[in-house]
Amino acid sequence: MTEPVLPPALGNYAADERFWDREREVAELAAYLRDGQSMLVIGPRRVGKTSVVRRVLDELRPSHTVVFIDVEQHANPAAMFAALAAEASREAGFWPRLIGRLGKRLGVAADRVGSVDLGVLKVELQAAMAAVWQDDARSVIASLAEGDQPAVVAVDELPLLVDRVLRDDPAGAEVFLGVLRGMAEEFRNVRWLVSGSIGLEPVLHRAGLTGTVTHLRSYPIDAWDEPTTAGAAAALGRAAGLDLAGGAAAAVHQQLGLGVPYHVQLLMDEVRRDAARRADSAVTADDVARVYGGPFLSSAVRAHLLHLESRLDKVLGEGDALRLARDLLTQAAVADRLTADDAMLLARDLVEDGADRPALLRHVLEILENDAYLSRDDNGWSYRSRVVRDWWRQTNQLGFVLAADRSPQP
């Protein structure tokens, strides 16, 4: 029997032969959607949520109409539904149904759907929908619902859009979420598959809007376990022509501490580069450890982790919450654990409004747990990923004062 190989998929979602494991998750999500349940996919960054969502959509074709949109850069709900209408225009019968509802208000877009780039179509649709987006959004979903088969709308990065709207217009965010929920309940033939690189529930919890997404069933996707990580590392090694000696594949999980697929691929790519420099295809566990502590931490994973840090900025914004989150993470990295006492000391030092401290501390810790920076046990919080811990310590340790060494504040 030929052992499997795994071509790398750095920077892209994994498809076809680059898709590794996750068969159970794909089958379960597809079954829920076939049964009419809308889903919220949750999990740490880079564990492959988008790859799983894409694979689920492939599983549902051709018995379902499927539409995928990424709303990370969208500014408002009108932009989201314009993008949704443009993508759905690929599906036979959708556009005539939408024209029947919106007619002349779509202007030139009505007659040009077959001849213009989708990007241009999105812009024209957004201009047409901006003033009355709620009614037009309903028309888009109704046009999907009237198709000959069930439809699945996959919205990637919806939490980022919701967070953006919440900051600009809290009342408008509540309306947006209410419209989404109302359409999910009205048009049962359209199921929603929502995912994102930040957690939706913590964003809504702070705004008191958690009840607006109870129609979405949460489905967690976690990092690979140790055997799956070792198997993927071995398959990546075979694809690169490497000879992983006994223990080398297992060492990948040991060094990373958490089998995040993207981190596995980054580390194995650096292992491949190291083998090429040595002009030796043999790789040992010691080689993996040396590469992890050298080029991997110093350069390979840096851009990804800076991006991870910027996502924290997007969720928390400038101010006490972000400063507190950064110090909580640094305390956990430098001391190897964040205790409840240390967390409260840091909050006392950083949050000026004493009345707001407990709620803000709970909110920040909820964000850090939900986005898988930290996990909690009876003794406090610690990093789930050794990579994130080591990089955060390396980047933020200089000049940091541990909680116990800070002067007490009132």
pLDDT digits (tens, 9 = 90+) for 205-218: 766 777 778 889 99
pLDDT of residue 91: 84
pLDDT of residue 306: 80
pLDDT of residue 159: 87
Parts of the chain with a pLDDT under 50: 115
Tell me how far apart the alpha carbons of residues 39 and 193 are, in angstroms, rounded to a whole number.
5
Cβ pair 20, 235 in contact under 8 A: yes
CATH topology for 311-405? Arc Repressor Mutant, subunit A (1.10.10)
Domain 22-220: assigned CATH number? 3.40.50.300
| Phi and psi, residue 83, nearest 5° | -65, -40
Tell me how far apart the alpha carbons of residues 236 and 161 are, in angstroms, rounded to a whole number.
35
Tell me how far apart the alpha carbons of residues 85 and 67 are, in angstroms, rounded to a whole number.
9
Q: DSSP 3-state assignment of 62?
A: coil
CATH architecture of the region 226-300: Orthogonal Bundle (1.10)
How far, in Å, are 118, 348, 409 from residue 354 at the CA level?
51, 7, 10
Cβ pair 229, 260 in contact under 8 A: no
Output the six-digit token pair for 284: 């040992």
pLDDT of residue 115: 46
Assess whether the previous peptide bond of 62 is cis (omega < 30° from 0): yes
The tens digit of pLDDT for each residue in 220-242 reads: 998 999 999 999 999 899 989 99
Longest CA–CA separation in the chain, Å: 69
Domain ranges across the chain:
22-220, 226-300, 311-405
Strand runs labelled E in 175-260: 190-195, 216-220, 243-244
